[in-house]
Structure 1
Amino acid sequence: MTRVYNRLHFMEDEVMPQQEKLTETIPVGTLGIIALESSSDLGEKVNDYIVKWRKERESEHKSTIAFAGYQRDSYLINASCPRFGSGEAKGSINESVRGTDLYLLVDVCNHSLTYNMSGHVNHMSPDDHYQDLKRIIAAVGGKARRITVIMPFLYEGRQHKRSSRESLDCALALQELTNMGVESIITFDAHDPRVQNSIPLKSFETIKPTYQFIKALLQNVSDLKVNAKDMMIISPDEGAMGRAVYFANVLGVDMGMFYKRRDYTTIVNGRNPIVAHEFLGTDVEGKDVVIIDDMISSGESMLDVAAELKRRKAGRIFVAATFGLFTSGFDKFDEAYEQGLIYRVITTNLVYQPAELLTKEYYISADMSKYVALLIDTLNHDASISDLLNPTERIQNIINQYKK
């Protein structure tokens, strides 16, 4: 039986309680959003939501000086990072940011952007995006009231610990940003949240988009049976255990995990090669299975796990990851879909999505723009975001609605 969902109701579940809390609190400062070119699409969507909410929001205090500049047609601030012929660049802000509560959006994974360097076309790397972020912070020149960096994919997040004589890139980057005046850093699904220990006196939030995954799944698949008999959550490795346990618990289903048996005597492309995927868990035969992880890089590990699950006679296989990087292209996923190995792939729009990806029949995009807008709108009022960080109640509401 096909189910029809009221998307407006989903939106109200997220937005209305927050709107009521904000009507009686004073903003920290005039809101300003700088979406670097890498995050321009996400920035525009976030801006549109906040413009709409603030035009609709009623408060007896809106005419007071504390709310000056509260309702505007746009909160996006004009900023850019032009480059010289040598490849060097500078940060430039083309309007006043004095006294603003400033939010900087940056996607360090956006490889689609290019610049000319000595006559050659160069694709922007995470290093380039991180340097541009620092250039914009430097251009602010300490004039903003507060600076918050929203960096969905944490720069160098996978280099979070030292196992030999190695650099600690992520910790250094966080310290560098806070030393430049950044008050708070918001990221999503950090590879290891303990990296925040490098900046213990500053605000660091790592957010898991579990609610958005479940909402995207329920809105796009009409015949899911959310129960322990027909559904299961799978962690592809020991590192993803925490998010898989939470995902399974809020859905009320079982979970299983694979662990990667590696050959530690050799190194290939800087890593020890995987010899086999060993499974721990109950029988998956005939069940819909969701493989959950923080990112899809090349995707080989995910597809290996899917193949192992199919060998154990699993039903439909859904692959969900916060960041869809697809560093080796889509051919292997196309082939896996055609062979019936995977049924759907879900990733967020927090990082660059190639146009080709959005046309794939098996792809579902979990839109995070409304959630990011809620975070910015709430923080601008210096209100607590604890309810936004804990989506358990909202997840239960949409699951109950789905089952009805």
Structure 2
Amino acid sequence: MLLFAPKASLALATRIAEALGMSLSPSEEREFDGGEHKMRPMVEVANEDVYVVQSLCGDASASANDKLCRLLFFVGALKDAGAERVTVVTPYLAYARKDRRTQPRDPVTTRYVAAVMQAVCIDRVVTLEIHNEAAFDNAFRCPTVRLEAADVFAPEIATEVGDQPVIVMSPDIGGVKRAQRFRERLARTLSREVDLAFMEKRRASGVVSGETVVGELRGRAVVIYDDMIASGSTILRACQAAREADAKSVYVAAAHAAFLPSASKLFETRAADSVLVTDSIALRPEFNPWLGAALRVCSLAPLVARTIQDLARHRP
């Protein structure tokens, strides 16, 4: 088994390799004039079971498009060099939110990403907390593994809430199934009952509205659970609604810290007692001051490592 990573995902891949008790396989990554690039393995990959870690969220160093292109070209090189099986581990999958047509002639970009991955003969895709599970499953024809951040967050949240009565809340109706699975996982961890709530949400012309909360939050520790935080507006609304409903405490857990600058308001207003995210996306430097009690990063490396071990063990 070999594990590679482009430079953009080197930190995350190194943590995964450490959890696996192995080293990253060496590769060469070069830049050329005009923005062109290449990456090649520096070890023999023929007949090998190969894993490539590349999270596809754009940042200051590279766009999502650039990261995707580098991943595709490297997988093509691995296949040309005779790799038997190539599994792509992409905790954050670019364009997963553009999964359906909401206007005439809209692109369904999730499906196009799946098509280009299949074009370079990727054998399997492993991702974390996908935005729309049904759309993802329908888009990909190769085998896929959808990991859930619930396995990462449940022990941390259980420590946070202690003996408080707990309720898990989805910040919108679309995330209820995701929140329900986390509720079940948290209940097992706590060995007691955990209730479920959700919040109404409507979006029109980019404006989010809806204030109704379904569920009894008064006097409880409210855990707002979602797949990602970008602008932070949805989570902020949910935190404010929980406070207005007399919640005893408010915690947030979201897999992907896709923070935009506006997400700082979530921390400036102290809307939540704490916010938990994973390291699927490298944290923007401007959010480092909140690391500690307000913002905590939980590593998904052990979860990914266990998944890779299972896949390697059951290699056809």
CA distance in 1, matches of 2:16, 2:202: 42
Whether 1:35 aligns to 2:5 is yes
User: How many correspondences in the alignment?
Assistant: 305
CA distance in 1, matches of 2:73, 2:39: 5
Flag the 1:142–1:197 CA change in 2: closer, same or farther, 3 A: farther
Flag the 1:275–1:217 CA change in 2: closer, same or farther, 3 A: closer
For structure 1, the 5+ residue unaligned runs are: 1-30, 52-72, 114-123, 385-404
The one-letter code matched in structure 1 to 2:214 is L
Match of 2:251 among 318, 322, 345: 318
Whether 1:335 aligns to 2:237 is no
| Structure of greater relative contact order (alpha carbons < 8 Å, 6+ residues apart) | 1
Show the counterpart of 2:190.
none
Match of 1:152 among 91, 106, 110: 91
CA distance in 1, matches of 2:32, 2:211: 49
Q: Is the 8 A contact 2:232 2:262 kept in 1?
A: no
CA distance in 2, matches of 1:334, 1:197: 37
Whether 1:242 aligns to 2:172 is no
CA distance in 2, matches of 1:379, 1:247: 24
Counterpart mapping for 1:364-383 below 5 A: 364-382=296-314
Q: Is the 8 A contact 1:303 1:336 kept in 2?
A: no
CA distance in 1, matches of 2:121, 2:199: 42
**Identical columns (%):** 22
Counterpart mapping for 1:327-366 below 5 A: 327-328=260-261, 331-337=264-270, 341-355=271-285, 357-360=287-290, 361-366=293-298
Show the counterpart of 1:289.
222
Q: Deviations over 1:151-208 (max 9, x none)?
A: 11112100111233111211111122122111111111111122222333x2012111
Match of 1:280 among 208, 214, 220: 214
1:82 is paired with a residue whose SS is strand
Show the counterpart of 1:224.
162
Higher Rg: 1
Show the counterpart of 1:59.
none
Q: TM-score, normalised by structure 1?
A: 0.71
CA distance in 1, matches of 2:309, 2:223: 32
Counterpart mapping for 1:18-57 below 5 A: 31-51=1-21
**Displaced runs of 4 or more, over 6 A:** none
Q: Is the 8 A contact 1:38 1:110 kept in 2?
A: no
For the aligned residue pairs, the C-alpha RMSD in angstroms reads 2.0
Q: TM-score, normalised by structure 2?
A: 0.90
Match of 1:93 among 24, 33, 41: 41
Shift of 1:80: 4.1
CA distance in 2, matches of 1:217, 1:383: 34
Shift of 1:371: 1.2
Whether 1:199 aligns to 2:137 is no
Q: Is the 8 A contact 2:196 2:215 kept in 1?
A: yes
For structure 2, the 5+ residue unaligned runs are: 188-192
Q: Deviations over 1:212-271 (max 9, x none)?
A: 10112234x3x5226xxx2111110011100111222341211111121334xxx2xxx3
CA distance in 1, matches of 2:58, 2:105: 30
Shift of 1:358: 4.7
